Structure 1
Amino acid sequence: MSRIIRRLTVAAATAATAVLFTAVPAAAHVEVESDDAQALAENAELAFTAESESATAGIAQIRVVLPKGIAPSDVTYGKGPEGWKFTATDDGYTVKGAALKVGADAEYSVVVRQLPDVKELAFKTLQTYGDGKVDRWIELDESGDDGHGHGEGNPAPVLKLKAAAPGAAPVGPSPSASASASATPTAEASGTSPTPQAADTEKDEDDGGLSAGVWVAIAVVLVVAVAVVVVRRRGGARQ
């Protein structure tokens, strides 16, 4: 009888342990997906889901560091939790607002002007709760992948891209083209005709640096001087 009881006890413990392990939810993380996940795709909408792993506070802020090839100025806000606001930073952006309900995931989207010509994009993410706790989803594996499937670490969300469509090209002028365009007005300015003031100065220099009015004044002074000399000579002769 005692053997039967012991066997039943062991069986019950084993079953309970199995139930506990199967009931444990998968580790929380941040995911990104897009129907426009293709290199050089324009106005691509990216949807993010930041899963909550706190039992005491709700998510209040998501901060993202953008991957190389996407500038903060190329990203605009799509939609997100009610009342949350989007703010660009030096290296990415933040989306934040009133803390969500405890256990609620934060879902939002952004629109990227154009995705770079790469195979995948990693969006390092800092997830902050209302109580100040921070989940850092910033780790990459050695190949630059997100590390999903390894069952450990805090992997950054990664978006894999299809190859660019035939004929697709980067939008906007290249830096070299912009530099050439900015240099053109300078070259034209250097070749413009002189201003009216400059032309007058050059004309004065051609006349020996004296204008016609000055020459007239000199002539008048000379005439007066000659007249004075003549008058004095006549007066001396009469004496």
Structure 2
Amino acid sequence: MVGRWIRRAAVLAAVSAAVLALPTPGFAHVEVTADQAQAGAANVTVSFSAESESKTAGIASLRVVLPDGIRPDQVAWVSGPTGWTLTPGADGYTVAGPALPAGEDAKYAVKIAQLPAGATSLPFRTLQTYSDGHIDRWIEIPTPGQAEPDAPAPVLTLQPASVTSAAPTTLPATPTATAAGPNTPAAADPAAKQSGPSWPVIGIAGLLLAVAVIVTVAALRRRRGPATPQA
């Protein structure tokens, strides 16, 4: 009987040790939202909220590594704690200023010129530095279907880019003949060319008529014979 209880206690101790050995998720996070969470969107205001987990030191700066497809020069400061400013870096930016009171979250917003067109999610890895030099590294990318990592990076989930219908191709209009007006030259109207007499034809007809007259006159003279001189 005693041996049975000992075995049960050993099993419970092993289970408890296994549970305690499991990594516990971090309680503080950096949250990210956007007014246009859609791939390819332009002039998007992205807001961040970095939770404080220190009771003795305040947040003094946040360094962000931008996701692929967004350059530092595409990010502009919108709002944040009093006295804080944005400084671009090689792969992201840093927002910093006077340290906030201990326990106060750091909230700020930036404007991004354009989100990547083919992206489905955007991780913003963040290094959160306190006034005492302590750094929280929110840089682990969560994997769908798996437990959240200890220090997850803030990830902005995007809707697919909007698909706009392509404008129909307009072929050039076929030119149509315009009826000739009273002041329109006949040469501009194909119908006028066909209905009016042709000058070369008139010239040939006139020449033939002249030849016929000459031949007729000559024939009449031959019939009459030479003129008889009068005494």
Match of 1:103 in 2: 103
Match of 1:7 in 2: none
Match of 2:173 in 1: none
Match of 2:158 in 1: 161
State the one-letter code of the partner of 2:101.
Answer: K
Give the gaps of 5 or more residues in structure 2: 1-25, 166-231
Corresponding pairs, count: 139
Q: Equivalents in 2 of 1:76, 1:167: separation in Å?
A: 28
Match of 2:123 in 1: 122
TM-score (norm 1): 0.56
Match of 2:29 in 1: 29
Match of 2:17 in 1: none
Structure 1 stretches of at least 4 aligned residues deviating more than 3 Å after TM superposition: none
Match of 2:67 in 1: 67
State the one-letter code of the partner of 1:137.
Answer: W
Q: Equivalents in 2 of 1:41, 1:105: separation in Å?
A: 28
State the one-letter code of the partner of 1:161.
Answer: L
User: Per-residue displacement from partner, 1:58-82 (whole Å, max 9, x unpaired)?
Assistant: 0000000000000001110110000
Q: Equivalents in 1 of 2:106, 2:91: separation in Å?
A: 21
State the one-letter code of the partner of 2:39.
Answer: A
Identity %: 53
Q: Equivalents in 1 of 2:143, 2:163: separation in Å?
A: 31
Alignment of 1:184-223 (within 5 A): none
State the one-letter code of the partner of 1:141.
Answer: P
TM-score (norm 2): 0.58
State the one-letter code of the partner of 1:165.
Answer: S
Q: Equivalents in 1 of 2:86, 2:143: separation in Å?
A: 32
Alignment of 1:34-53 (within 5 A): 34-53=34-53
Q: Equivalents in 2 of 1:95, 1:72: separation in Å?
A: 12
Q: Equivalents in 2 of 1:129, 1:97: separation in Å?
A: 11
Aligned alpha-carbon RMSD (Å): 1.8
- CA change 1:165–1:152 in 2 (3 A) is closer
Q: Helix, strand or coil: the match of 1:33?
A: strand
Q: Equivalents in 2 of 1:162, 1:27: separation in Å?
A: 27
- CA drift of 1:167 comes to 3.2
- CA drift of 1:151 comes to 5.2
Q: Is the 8 A contact 2:139 2:153 kept in 1?
A: yes
Match of 2:54 in 1: 54
Match of 1:131 in 2: 132
User: Per-residue displacement from partner, 1:149-184 (whole Å, max 9, x unpaired)?
Assistant: x3541000000000111239xxxxxxxxxxxxxxxx
Q: Helix, strand or coil: the match of 1:36?
A: coil
- CA drift of 1:140 comes to 1.2
More helix by share: 1
Q: Equivalents in 2 of 1:137, 1:105: separation in Å?
A: 15
- CA change 1:141–1:125 in 2 (3 A) is same
Q: Equivalents in 2 of 1:54, 1:121: separation in Å?
A: 27
Match of 1:201 in 2: none
Q: Equivalents in 1 of 2:32, 2:60: separation in Å?
A: 18
Q: Helix, strand or coil: the match of 1:73?
A: helix
User: Per-residue displacement from partner, 1:27-59 (whole Å, max 9, x unpaired)?
Assistant: 011000012000000000000000000111000
